[in-house]
Amino acid sequence: MTHRILIVEDQVDIRKLIRMTLEFGDFEIHEAPDGESGLALAQSVRPHLMLLDVMMPGLLDGYQVCRRIKQDPELRGIQIIMLTARGQTADVSAGEQSGADAYLVKPFSPLELIDRVEAMVSQPAGS
């Protein structure tokens, strides 16, 4: 089964690195450069997993996008990995409060990313 993954990240080079890392897996990859388009894409493509940057320009940051997805009965099954350069306890707890399923602190290794993604997509939703 092909899993749909949505990468929401404003930095093109990081998006490209993530896409190149995941291209080796059986994934259908979608990308968005900001929170608003990420949320719209989540509603239309219904990804299994989102890689969601915390700090993005525009109206919605990663926490707000995460909160909206987890509050939507049709979207809350989407698993969300927050991506952030800030790994302090306060940042992690803000991610948890917004409903994030996991946290990856930048810079992360491609191996760490693929391990985390594969572990999450192999779990049944809601576990």
For the stretch 26-43, pLDDT in tens is 899 999 999 999 999 999
Tokens standing for 108? Answer: 């992360």
Q: State the pLDDT at residue 127.
A: 44
Return the CATH architecture of domain 3-110.
3-Layer(aba) Sandwich (3.40)
Please report, for residues 1, 2, 96, the alpha-carbon distance to residue 100 in angstroms, rounded to integers and kept in the order given.
24, 22, 5
Cα dihedral 79, 84, 87, 89 sign = negative
**pTM recorded for the entire structure:** 0.92
- Give the separation between CA 86 and CA 105, rounded to whole angstroms: 7
